[in-house]
Amino acid sequence: MLFTLLLNEYIKISPYSYIASPGDDVQITIKPDYRLPFMIRGKTADTSLLNIKKIEFSGKGSEMYKCRYEIICRNIENKRVELKPLQSYFDKLGRADSLFGIVQRIVQNSKSKLSSKEHRMIRADLIGDEYEKRYGLFLAYLKSTYGAGNYSDKRRSIIKDTIIDALWHFCKLPFLDLTIDNKVFSRSYCSAILNKVRVENMLHPNSLGLDSKIVEKYYGIFRDKLLSIWLISRMNEDDFSNEVRKYLKVIRTEQYLKILRPMADNLAVGLKAYDFELKDINGNYIRLSNFRGKVVFLDFWYTGCFGCAAYYQNVVSKIENEFDKDSKVCFISINIDCSKEVWKQSVNTGGYSSPTNKVINLNTNGECADHEVIKKYNVKSYARPVLIDAEGNIFSSGKILFSEQDLRNQIIAALKKSNI
């Protein structure tokens, strides 16, 4: 049994955080707690949009839920600052050790109230959450320094040695009596291992790509999950569909194949785009097929998504202005907020989409990210741009649409293809 807890209308606790066992009878009480402000165009927006809820659990099987929720709350309270210079980076990892110790004590104090299976699962998540972040931070630092190409060989060698020493100190995975099921069904353990492989791949490059190293080093369902996570992380890459098709022949675990098979086809260039029907901001139903004969740009977003706001303000809004007078180009903005009021407020700010008639603003009818349109367009991260040609076929999607110049060029190419 899986379920999702809403912190508010659009911020959720991952459904994979809470797994119920047969016979559990958990009561959930949600109470208003506190508010967090967020920024749109440099101004503090209505804080009621981020009205976080306090959640309480009781009943049979609730101890695992209490433990997980306490960890989540502690992580929110101790949200870490952005990576700065190298010394600050190590200071941050030292602070992470202290915070990690606090969270470990939360898990240890709950041990007597949990079954051994539940305790191992929480520990797997705990290690996964922490080390996914640690390896992720090392990866970010490596990309900005060692992999940036603007250092001498001597300087790069010093950075490499420093990073290797720090990895040994801060990122040595502790020994855990975890089963393969604990590792695979943990929401984050595999992601931590994937980041570990990414760091190793940057420090010790060879002719093998990251994917080949996964295939060479791991096996079975664990390897299949690592490959699946890696593939999904590449969803915005131009060769995504081809990569998925390649590994459909390698992955053997059916549960991952069921997720990946549609991804190999839904956004493949030249295939027919899914014809959705959604309500606009005035309550009118809009179908994609109504715009056949025009080049259509789709943009998926949600309130509170800083990447979505940045993409719209820095890229999409500028392109909208350029093609404002071109009747052969249409911009459609699809929002996944569960609350239509939150959606309308966000549209009116102009931070995520245009409130004018330059854009057709649509919402997933209160179904949030569970709507069929989200599945058909393989939306796993936001913002998610898709370009559809005048014949209603996928022209391009993902990374190639993220810069102003690339998006402009892709729209022009789509217009030329259709001779319009």
**Which of 71, 64, 181, 69 minimizes the C-alpha distance to 112?**
64
**Which of 364, 343, 238, 362 minimizes the C-alpha distance to 291?**
362
Q: For the chain, report the end-to-end CA distance as a whole number of angstroms.
A: 51
pLDDT confidence of residue 175: 57
Compute the distance between CA of residue 219 and CA of residue 253 in angstroms, rounded to an integer: 11
Residue 53 near residue 6, CB atoms below 8 Å: yes
**Which of 227, 229, 205 minimizes the C-alpha distance to 216?**
227
Compute the distance between CA of residue 365 and CA of residue 394 in angstroms, rounded to an integer: 24
Q: Spell out the domains of the chain, with CATH numbers in brackets.
A: 5-205 (no CATH), 207-266 (no CATH), 277-417 (3.40.30.10)
Neighbouring-strand partners of residue 299: 333, 385
Strand order in the sheet with 359-363: 285-287, 277-280, 359-363, 329-335, 295-301, 384-388, 394-397
Distance (Å) of CA 406 to CA 17, 241, 358, 410: 38, 20, 20, 6
Neighbouring-strand partners of residue 332: 298, 360
pLDDT confidence of residue 236: 65
Residue 346 near residue 337, CB atoms below 8 Å: yes
Largest Cα–Cα distance of the chain, in whole Å?
A: 70
Compute the distance between CA of residue 71 and CA of residue 77 in angstroms, rounded to an integer: 10
Q: What is the pLDDT along the chain (420 residues), one digit of tens a residue?
A: 333 343 333 333 444 455 667 788 888 887 665 444 444 434 444 434 444 457 788 898 888 888 877 777 766 555 544 434 444 555 555 555 556 676 777 777 888 888 888 888 888 888 888 888 888 877 877 777 765 556 677 776 777 777 777 666 666 666 567 888 888 888 889 999 999 998 888 888 776 788 888 998 999 999 999 999 998 888 767 677 778 889 999 999 999 998 888 777 766 778 899 999 999 999 999 999 999 999 999 999 999 888 899 999 999 999 999 999 899 999 999 999 988 999 999 999 999 999 988 899 999 998 988 899 998 888 878 888 999 999 999 998 877 888 999 999 999 999 998 776
Please confirm whether the linkage preceding 383 is cis (ω < 30° from 0): yes
Angle between helices 153-170 and 86-109 (to 10 degrees): 20
**Which of 307, 293, 301 minimizes the C-alpha distance to 332?**
301
